[in-house]
Chains A and B, each alone.
Chain A
Amino acid sequence: MTGRQTIIPFGPQHPVLPEPIHLDLVVEDERVVSAIPSIGYVHRGLESLVDRREYQDFVFLAERICGICSFTHSSTFCQGIEGLMGIQIPQRAAYLRTMWGEYSRLHSHLLWLGLFADSLGFESLFYQAWKIRESILDEMEATTGGRVIQGVCKVGGVRRDVANSFLSGMDDRLDEIEDNMKDLTNVFLNDYTLKKRLVGKGVLSKDDAYYLGAAGPTARGSGLDMDIRSTGYLAYGDVGFKPVVEKGGDGYARCAVRCRELFQSVEIIRRVITDMPEGDVFTPVKGNPDGEYFSRSEQPRGEVIHYLKGNGTKNLAQFRVRTPTLTNIPPLVSILAGCELADVPQIVLTIDPCIGCMER
């Protein structure tokens, strides 16, 4: 080792990054000594628009915090307003929200698996993952009308109902999707080359994950049993949810958590379809929100918190979002220190960064 340090800029425009984030990598020879992140390339200032948009219209903006977790953001925001106003949404709406939430998790995890394969230079696997993702998007489009931005959530329930005959037809298509996913995840979990690149790389210990505030699959990959779905919001209490936890703490464990969650999501969707209650899909909403509320739910990337403060008018007084990617940045910086330069792209991707969410 020469002891001479060089700084290599990584991003904001980089082949493995679909979104801009910038890292200054301090390297000694081929080893990364430390990584200094700088963010703000996607900051739009969306939260400030609450004083110009009425709370019912803001659902559309909340959905556009991020195009990947769009459904979860809109349902979390609606959940917050409903909490403020004491609205009980119909059971069928809660079940439909659960179903769409899990479909968006499926599409997000498949998207991530594809991008991850791409970051490892495994182009054909990237294409396979995205091919399966298209069949998930077809289900989304058939039930909501939108591929990535659905616009289906509203305060008091959901905007569209799904016919029972369509729901019962979903089962067969889920079987096919599940078969395809089995083939796909088999490669991710058992391929010799991929294992070589993932096992033991970017290790985040359980204690570090806890103290640095990791969330979602990043935390669960390090053995932390943290999943907001365990609190049983929406229909998760009825489906008997148990979080997926891996102990390894390395890139392989984080990948394994997401692979296993794919099948878990399919199971949840199956349960939700079978137990789907009859009835309305929304309750009429009157009045304006007042008071404070923390709305929490589990995004594909971890726990998202929407803080809402109403003042009895149509516009909220304040709106803040805390997204999982932001809390996953300190763990990322900690695992980058000491890694090989060539592993940086794949380690950055193992936390599944979603910069659109993070900066709003």
Chain B
Amino acid sequence: MSSASKSPWLLHYNASSCNGCDIEILAALTPVYDVERFGIINTGNPAHADIFVVTGGVNEQNKAVLKNIYDQIPEPKVVVAVGICASSGGVFRECYNISGGVDTIIPVDVYVPGCSVRPEALIEGIVKALGVLEEKRAAMEAKK
């Protein structure tokens, strides 16, 4: 198991979310939940990230930005859709500007339900993502 699978760095992007999930992501990183004690850091740079955490239902203007950030993250990478909006569009599904989920734009590995998502659920999602990250790494090693 590589170090990145124990202490992954996250990149968070708000793709038309209401903020509820975004502040819960930060709450998971800060005291009380405090995942940073395991070396899980919220980075601002896509090139440093292992796990891409996306919130919100993705609107027209965000599509290109989301794709762009996804392409900049080096392999292996895992995408976590946080909250019901990121998973399926949620309450905003019928809005004219919402494409209905992150998986309509980029491939998603882990879905975390909730409106807004609870930090406990988010942490479980990230732990699941670690497993996926390790699988992807092993597959890359095998190819070499």
Contacts and interface: CB of A to CB of B under 8 A. Distances in A.
A64 B59 contact: no
A147 interface: yes
Contact of A41 (B16, B94, B116): B16
Nearest to B22: A18
Closest 6 pairs between A and B when the two form their complex, measured CB to CB: A67-B20, A15-B44, A67-B19, A130-B30, A356-B19, A131-B31
B139 interface: no
B101 interface: no
A44 B44 contact: no
B23 A111 contact: yes
Contact of A126 (B14, B30, B118): B30
Interface stretch (A45-53, A95-103, A326-334): A45-53
A149 interface: yes
Interface in B113-137: 115-116, 118
Contact of A127 (B31, B96, B97): B31
A300 to B, nearest CB: 12
Which of A43, A52, A131 lies at the interface centre, i.e. has the most chain B CB atoms within 10 A of its CB?
Answer: A43
B24 to A, nearest CB: 6
Nearest to B13: A13
Task: Find the residue from B43, B69, B116 having the highest chain A CB count within 10 A.
Answer: B116
Nearest to B72: A13
A260 to B, nearest CB: 23
Interface string B14-40: 111111111110110011100000000
Interface residues of B, number: 39
Contact of A134 (B18, B22, B27): B27
B26 to A, nearest CB: 7
A197 interface: no
A354 interface: yes
B139 to A, nearest CB: 28
Interface in A145-166: 147-149
5 contacts: A13-B44, A42-B56, A44-B95, A48-B96, A130-B31
B92 A44 contact: yes
Given A14-B44, A49-B94, A68 B27 contact: no
Contact of B95 (A46, A67, A127, A131): A46
A14 B32 CA distance: 25
B8 interface: no
Interface of A: 12-16, 18-20, 40-46, 48-49, 52, 60-61, 64-68, 70, 111, 114, 126-127, 130-131, 133-134, 137, 147-149, 354-357
Nearest to B119: A147
A67 B116 contact: yes
Contacts of B56: 42
Interface string B82-125: 00000000011011111000000000000000011010000000
Nearest to A359: B16
B62 A41 contact: yes
B95 A19 contact: no
A147 B17 CA distance: 17
A42 B20 CA distance: 13
A68 B23 contact: yes
B26 A20 contact: no
Contacts of A46: 92, 95
- The residue in B23, B24, B31, B98 that gathers the most chain A C-beta atoms within 10 A of its C-beta is B23
Contact of A70 (B20, B45, B62, B98): B20
B65 interface: yes
B61 A147 contact: no
A67 B22 contact: yes
Contacts of A130: 26-27, 30-31
Nearest to B62: A41
A20 B55 CA distance: 12
B81 to A, nearest CB: 16
A96 to B, nearest CB: 21
A41 B115 contact: no
A149 B61 contact: no
Given A15-B43, A45-B97, 19 more contacts: A15-B44, A18-B22, A42-B56, A43-B16, A43-B59, A43-B97, A45-B92, A45-B95, A48-B96, A66-B18, A68-B20, A126-B30, A130-B30, A134-B30, A134-B32, A137-B27, A148-B24, A355-B19, A356-B19
B20 A148 contact: yes
Contacts of A66: 18-20
A356 B20 CA distance: 9
A41 B30 contact: no
Nearest to B42: A15
B44 A18 contact: no
